[in-house]
A = this chain, B = another copy of it.
Amino acid sequence: MTDGTTDLADWSCPAPLRDHPVVVMGHGGGGALSAELTEHLFLPAYGGEVLAGLADSAAVSLGDARLAFSTDTYVVRPLAFPGGGIGDLAVNGTVNDLAMSGAVPAYLSCAFLLEEGTPLSTVGRVADQIGAAARAAGVQVVTGDTKVVDSGHGDGVYVNTSGIGLIPEGVDIRPGRARPGDVVILSGPLGQHGIAVLSVREGLSFGTGIVSDTAPLNGLVREMLLVTRDIHVLRDPTRGGLAASLNEVARASGTGVVLDERAVPVPEPVAGACAFLGLDPLYVANEGRLVAFVAREDADAVLEAMRGHVLGRDAVVIGACVAEHPSVVVARTALGASRIVDLPLGEQLPRIC
């Protein structure tokens, strides 16, 4: 045995995982393989009710406070890309996960995993990005950790951030709350982050000028909650894209989701790059967009509030929840046909966040 855990009780692989006895890139992609790992490996080992809710952040009680708590590790390559870098993602990604519970993000932890031999200037630049992004999002980094691994066992800089924030009274935003009749709103155009990262990967330069949408969404969510505290679901379509987010909500709530493909905004350069590369923009990662599920009677007011914020000025209704086809996402195409939008298997583009 080579894994160094031979003195532990033998671990028997649950049946649904047996097609993939070793870790593949897709296990980190936010799609069906990630979901399998969570359902059949992590949840049986240490899952409780909160973890099983599979929200972007956990809602927990501590004293009299209701908190959101979230964690993410950032492994994007390259470390910098048009529109941002790993430090921006590390702050905005975790801020956004908290905001997707309706929480007001307050404090972040920041843990660096460094590879021996990495220039300190690289670490310094990432740290400066983190500082600038934290100030922009209005959060404080209050605790940290640094570990170093030998050369060849890392990749320069990985960053984990975790975050906590207070959930305002009366707010209960989670995937399970979508219900038939809800209107689905998208805050802005799709696919910029994934394509921006891809465009600077070695050998894949498009020169298209596509810039990552990375941004902190807590300000936008604050404006939306001023309209109504009864937002049902918020989700930021990162790994796995909008398709993964809609599927997660459909499964958690048991509601069917109908997506109007013609309504989904995709910038021309993103659409062009996707066509060239054979990618579906519905599956490409975003880092500054959110999708909201709200009651029909609140939809107009929420949409108006979103359009009043710089990060929501292109917000549009892209679909609705229906009682038909429970837990399944169906797209109406431009030609009037219908197709099932499934959870992706893995990520089309590994290591984009």
Task: List A residues at the B interface (Cβ < 8 Å).
Answer: 3-9, 11, 13, 17, 20-29, 34, 37-38, 41-42, 45-48, 50-51, 57-58, 60, 62-65, 67, 69-75, 77-80, 82, 85, 106-107, 109-111, 113-131, 134, 140-150, 152-156, 158, 160, 162, 164-166, 350-351
Contact = CB atoms under 8 A, between A and B. Distances in A.
Contacts of A28: 114, 146-149
This chain: how many copies in the complex? 2
B153 A155 contact: yes
A146 B34 contact: yes
Contacts of A73: 111, 113, 145, 147, 160
Given A5-B126, A65-B64, A119-B3, A144 B71 contact: yes
A131 B21 contact: no
B64 A64 contact: yes
Nearest to A347: B148
B8 A85 contact: yes
Given A57-B143, A141-B46, A109 B70 contact: yes
A56 to B, nearest CB: 9
Given A3-B79, A34-B146, 13 more contacts: A3-B121, A9-B125, A22-B116, A28-B147, A41-B123, A42-B146, A62-B67, A62-B106, A62-B107, A63-B166, A71-B144, A75-B113, A109-B162
Contacts of A116: 22-25
